[in-house]
Amino acid sequence: MAKKQHEENSLADFEQAAKEAEATAGDRQYVLRLYVAGMSPRSSSSIKAITELCEEHLNGHYELEIIDIYQSPALAKDEQIIAAPTLIKKLPEPLRRFIGNLADRERILVGLDVRPKKK
């Protein structure tokens, strides 16, 4: 009898945890770093594209740090940045990198786990 009660409690705890996780999924805090090379037109368009995407889809639940690899080469070296622009999603895990053209919104949204993958 005690074993059955324990199993019912475990199931209830699991269901409650699943509901809480689902409720907070939209409240995840994103930590993003965008590495650019100077203030070139390509850098400016990448900054604009990522800022608009974050404002539209992350509802203020993000921290976006823009790093110019010319101004902070040590940070670029530490992150092993080999091309710019590069967007790194630090949180939520898993870590993801997007290199090059950041105009493909669908690819970025899927990589950020904001929109489900198309079948």
77-96 per-position pLDDT tens digit: 999 999 999 999 999 999 99
pLDDT tens for 15-67 read: 555 444 443 445 689 999 999 999 999 999 999 999 999 999 998 899 999 99
| Most distant CA atoms of the chain, gap in Å | 71
pLDDT of residue 101: 87
**CATH numeric code, 28-111:** 3.40.30.10
The residue ranges of every structural domain in the chain are: 28-111
Strand order in the sheet with 62-68: 62-68, 30-36, 86-91, 96-99
What lies within 8 Å, CB to CB, of 91 at 6+ separation is 29, 30, 31
pLDDT tens for 96-105 read: 999 998 989 9
Report field, pTM of the whole predicted structure over 0.85: no
